[in-house]
Structure formats: C-alpha cells, structure tokens
Amino acid sequence: MPFRPYEQDQMFLLPPSLNEWVRQDNPARVFSEIIDRLDTTTFRQQKEEGRPAYHPAMMIKVLLWGYATGVRSSRKIEEKLEEDVVFMWLAGLEKPDFRTLCLFRTTNKEALEKIFTDVIIVAKTMGMATLGLVALDGSKVRANSGINTFKNLRDWKELLKEAKDEAQRIISEAENIDKEEDKIHGDNKRGDEIPKEIEKAQDRIEKVEALIKKAKELGKEDESRVSLTDAEAGLMHKGNTSIPAFNAQLAVTEDQLIVYADVTAEPVDVNQTKKAVEGMKKTIKEKPEILIADTGYAGGEKFKYLEDNKIDGYIPSEDERRIGIKKRQKAREHLFAKEDFTYNKCEDKYTCPQGEILGPTARTQFKSKYSKREVTTYRTERGTCTICPLREKCTTNIKLGRAITRDGYEEYRERMREKINTTEGRLIYRKRKCLAEPVFGQIKIRNGFGQFLLRGLEKVRIEWKIVATAHNLLKMTAAIMRKEKILPALV
C-alpha cells in the first residue's frame, strides 16, 4: 500500500484560516467566548505616539489560559505563542514578548480585579455562583523566596553594620595604595575609580538597607524573621515543616466557583472572616446567606459580626471530631466542664453543679500578635470549694477552688456551639470538605499552581486573583461543554 504524500514545504493555493486550527469542541473556544463578554476598557489606555499596544482582550485570554493550563511563566507563555496552536489561536498570531506579558500582569491591578468580578457576574447570568452557602478556607502557598534568605531582623542590622565596616576598610586600603603609587608613579592617576570589591559591598548595603526600611514599615520586630528577596513573605508551618509562604484565602460557592480571593502575610486565619464577607460585599455587592469555615476562623467577635450582619455562620470553636464533646484537657476529663455551670446574665454570676455561686473576681487582658480580648474570672468565696462534696469532680486547686472564665462574646460562642451540635448543623458544616478544599486541590494539582511567581504582597494578590479567575473560567467552560449551562448572547 502506498504512503500518503509528505511534503514539509507544501504550498497553499489560498492561505489557511486561523479558525481551522482549533477544533470546534475545544474548551479554549468557550473560554475565549466568555472573555469576549468582559469589559476591557479599564486597562491601560494606549498612547497616541509610538507603536500601537496589544489589545487587552488578547492579553487577558493568553494570560488566563496560561494559568488555567499550568503555564504561568511569562517566558513559557512566549514560547507557547510560537509553538502551541491553541495559544496562537487565542492570540490571533500576535506574539507579545515575555517582558510585555509580565508588565501587563503587574501594572493592571485594578483592571484585573474587575475582570475577576466581571467573570462572576457572567457566571450569575448563567445561574452559577449563587451566594446561598459559601465555604471559606485558607492554604499556605510557597513564596518566591528561599528559606536560606531568612534571618532575624536583628541579624540583618548586624550584617548591615559589618558590610559598612567592610566597605570603609576597602576604601581605606584603596586610598593607601593610591598614596603609595603616587609616590612611585606621580599624580597622573585619576584616583576616582571604584574598586570592584566596593561595588559588591555597596550593592549588599543597599539591599539590606532597603530590607530593614521595609521591615520597619511592616512593623516587624527584631526577633522577626525576614527574607532578603521578599520582606513581606513569612516562614509558615505547613505539615511538619516551615516554608516561605503567604496565606491564600478563598470563599467558594456550592458549584465550586470562587467569589472571594485574597492573600495575607498573617500565618493564621483568625482575622479573615470579616475581611472575606466585606470583600464579597465590595466586589459582587452581595453577602452569603450561610458561611462555613474551620476552627481557624472562630472567635466570639467574628460570631457577633456574623449575627449582626444576619449571616448564618457555622464555625466550630473546636476540631470537627470533637463537635458536641465537652472541651476538657485529657488530664482533666473527669472534671466538670464549663458547660456544666449555669450563667445568670442579669446578675453576672455562675452557679456550679453543687448550687454554689461564682462571682467575678478579676479581669485580665490577653493580647497576641494577631488578636486581643478581655477575660473575666469567676470564683466562689474562698473556702467554699475546700468543703464541697463534689470537689474531686470539679477542681484540683484546693486553695483557690474552681475558676470559670468568660469574655464579652461568650453568648455568641454558646449559640454557635448549640447550632453546630444539631443534626442539621453538622450536615451543613460537613459540606465544607466538598467545597473549598477540592478547589485548592484543583488549583495546586490540576492547574500546577504550587508557588507564587511574583514578589511583594500587592503583586502576590494580583497573581492570586488571576489564579481564581482562571479557575472560575474553567468551571464555567466545563458547565457549558456538558450542556448544563448556556452562555448568554453578546449584547
């Protein structure tokens, strides 16, 4: 049987159509159609003089398709525009270089944030991204800095002093050499040449000075560990180790669309509940009806905020496995729990299981790096617990007796605890594992996003919004491809 003709230099009678390069059922077509419905007028306006700028719609398609398919590096995207048919089709055969792609990504913060919002609005017209139930979660994402670049701020200050001393030593040596050479060769040498050693020392001084200045602006203390390459990144625990990272936050709907995306340099989630709700209000002008999150987002102040905003929150104060179990340390499991004491709000007193009264005896303020609260301690009159027949089931402190602590948000904690301990409350809370956690998995595994490319908190936030937008576009594309949803017609 003869072979089919094979000719790499084949000529075409008519030029081939760019539209024929991509199959009609390729997801990139739907991806492109969705972006065609977005407003791109907020991107930087081209200048009247000079070469015309690339169209923002093309740049958005190329950038977002790159993030959706695990190609995030500007240089890698530039390569794809030369050799990948889908990228070439999305770009209309335009070939912006990596510097142009990088600049577009880092200088259009507000416009890219608006694209994130506009994609959600398009999703809503398709019947997706409904803010009924929303799951909030965070994950540590590796920063673009090495662990060896971290030192205590005090050590950086000492290193700066050493670098300045070294620079002064090199200058003194150079001056002495000049004097000796002048004696031998005369005064013909200019004497203003900078030794290479000075250049290196000066470069190190400038970098460390900039780092110390940035650390002071961020309120870092001398014991804080700071990276020379990214002063805003932190060493955060992940598993059984610590990595240079940022804390990436997501709020996800029941159809796994992201309606809130942000990044914080704080390693804990305790201050993110209110920020997430306010962020949703700002971007899509709505708030969730139900909000679920893990214990990292718990706190009486947060529970009060949710109640004040009429949001039905499900955030346990303890690990999911201990929901409904009285919270006691293992060594004190045989003792009465706080829930066994009855609080009288009008009299501001507790009644113990034996019927004795515990009144307020002290108020203490607790302040950590990321939160603060005032706690009131309640005790019985001295000596009461000593003669109590239930003492062995209540306290190990024979001298002072049993103490109960309470802050101004205890009633909100109690209501949250009671709500989550119901059958309905547990069923609602269990949905968290099916919403936010799989989305993080899809972003990190399917989309290949394991590390930020940009540096600095503001730039990292831009990149995270791009990641979230690409994820949403993939979800919408998949729903349309499965014929579950219909993309609205262009107006």
pLDDT winner (highest mean) among 34-38, 322-326, 363-367: 34-38
Its pTM stands at: 0.81
Length of the chain: 491
Q: What is the pLDDT of residue 131?
A: 86
User: For 326, which DSSP code?
Assistant: -
Mean pLDDT of 471-487: 90
pLDDT digits (tens, 9 = 90+) for 215-250: 665 666 656 667 777 778 888 888 778 888 999 999
Rounded Cα distance, 141 and 396, in Å: 44
- 125: number of Cβ within 10 Å: 13
pLDDT digits (tens, 9 = 90+) for 361-409: 998 888 777 777 888 999 999 888 988 999 888 988 888 889 998 888 8
Domain ranges across the chain: 18-129+475-481, 147-227, 235-318+427-461, 325-409
Rounded Cα distance, 242 and 4, in Å: 59
Relative to beta strand 290-293, strand 312-314 is parallel
Using DSSP, state whether 238 is helix, strand or coil.
Answer: strand
Q: List the beta bridge partners of residue 261.
A: 250
Both structure tokens of 118: 């506009």
CB 231 within 8 A of CB 331: no
Mean pLDDT of 79-102: 92
Closest of 258, 239, 240 to residue 249, by C-alpha:
258
Q: Has residue 414 got a pLDDT over 80?
A: yes
Phi/psi at 326 (nearest 5 deg)?
A: -60, 130
Q: What is the pLDDT of residue 350?
A: 94
